[in-house]
Amino acid sequence: MGKDVIVACDFASAKETFDFLDKFTGRKPFVKIGMELFYAEGPAIVKEIKKRGHKIFLDLKLHDIPNTVKKAMKVLSNLDVDITNLHAGGTVRMMEAALEGLTREDGTRPLLIAVTQLTSTDQESMESDLLIKEPIDKVVMHYAANAAKAGLDGVVCSPLEAQKVHNTCGKSFLTVTPGVRFADGDIGDQKRVMTPAEAKKIGSDYIVVGRPITAAADPVAAYERCVNEFVD
Ligand code: C5P
């Protein structure tokens, strides 16, 4: 898979999701399904979106004991998604178990990427709540290196970290980056943002874009603008 724009379908129901996706005639955007939609609609929503011909990033961020994550990943492997994820904080052993569970009998599997530190976690909360006293960028790189060591395919990270992750973990280690905004757009609750063009320049492999597309007056035009800036 090459560079692509992944649209975060942060909707509460299948109806809202399909009303949105039906606007795209001729185009089949790469879709991210998160916890809200998955918990509301269950595996059926994944199968239905796949049947319509979209690639899917199933963003459920698993984090539990290795055996439980392995078994959950085995179930997810039947959904035929293209990318799924977990928390690197679950340890290298948990990530290795996840990979085992995700790998089908014929050796194929979806791509598996890790969340390092959530972008909602800052230095202060990491130190006070998690008792991690190292600088946050060092922690992010350490978790990314752990994900690579476990055999994962990449990480979810801020576009500002993409270059450093590639330098540490290799060019082919995927960087999937949310926090993308148009130069003339509203940044909302995201703090450290980049435009699609900047994310391309810095080497992101996939950008995850939600509200700049889903809340746009013309979502298809906003999607095309992202693709033009990031992919073409
Ligand atoms: O609407 P917006 O473009 O901010 O959506 C970004 C998407 O990426 C959301 O689905 C959000 O949950 C997700 N995300 C994020 N930051 C992370 C991980 C995921 O914004 N570190």
Amino acid at 221: A
Distance 34 CA to ligand 1 centre (A): 9
**Percent helix, percent strand, percent coil in the chain, to nearest 5:** 45, 15, 40
Distance CA(163)–CA(26), nearest Å, equals: 33
Spacing, Cα 208 to ligand 1 middle (Å): 7
Pocket of ligand 1 (CB under 6 A): 8, 10, 34, 118-119, 156, 178-179, 190, 208-212
**Residues paired with residue 7 on neighbouring β-strands, in sequence order:** 31, 209
Q: How far is the CA of 210 from the centre of ligand 1 (A)?
A: 7
Contact 29, 4 (CB under 8 A): no
188 within 8 A of 212, measured Cβ to Cβ: no
Contact 15, 41 (CB under 8 A): no
- Which ligand 1 atom is the nearest neighbour of the CA of 215? 1
Question: Hey, which residues does 111 pair with through a beta bridge?
Answer: 83
Catalytic residues: 61
Cβ contact 171:154 at 8 Å: no
83 CA → ligand 1 middle, Å: 15
Tell me the best of 208, 211, 213, 230 to mutate to test the pocket of ligand 1, counting ligand atoms within 8 Å of each CB and taking the most: 208
**24-46 core/surface letters (b: 16 or more CB in 10 A; e: else):** beeeebbbbbbeebbeebeeebb
Task: Write down the pLDDT at residue 185.
Answer: 85
- Measured from the Cα of 120, ligand 1's closest atom is 21
Dump pLDDT digits (tens) for 99-119. 999 999 999 999 999 999 887
Q: Which of 36, 22, 95 is nearest to 65 (CA)?
A: 95
Q: Tell which atom from ligand 1 comes closest to the C-alpha of 8.
A: 10
User: What does the alpha-carbon distance between residue 144 and residue 77 come to, in Å, rounded to a whole number?
Assistant: 23
| 3: β partners | none
Rounded Cα distance, 99 and 122, in Å? 29
Residue 216: predicted pLDDT: 97
Nearest CA to 227 out of 209, 203, 202, 214 is that of 209
Distance of CA 87 to the CA centre of its chain: 11
- What are the tens digits of pLDDT across the range 118-174? 878 889 999 999 999 999 999 999 999 999 999 999 999 988 899 999 999 999 999
Identify which of 6, 9, 10 to mutate to test ligand 1's pocket (most ligand atoms within 8 A of the CB). 10
Least confident window among 58-62, 77-81, 114-118, 119-123: 119-123
pLDDT of residue 22: 97
Q: How far is the CA of 48 from the centre of ligand 1 (A)?
A: 23
| Closest residue CA from atom 3 of ligand 1 | 210
In ligand 1, the atom with minimum distance to the C-alpha of 188 is: 4
Q: Report yes or no on whether pTM surpasses 0.85.
A: yes
Exposed / middle / buried, residue 190 (Cβ in 10 Å: 0-12, 13-18, 19+): middle
Percent with pLDDT over 90 in the chain: 88
Angle at 103 between CA 100 and CA 108, to 5 degrees: 155
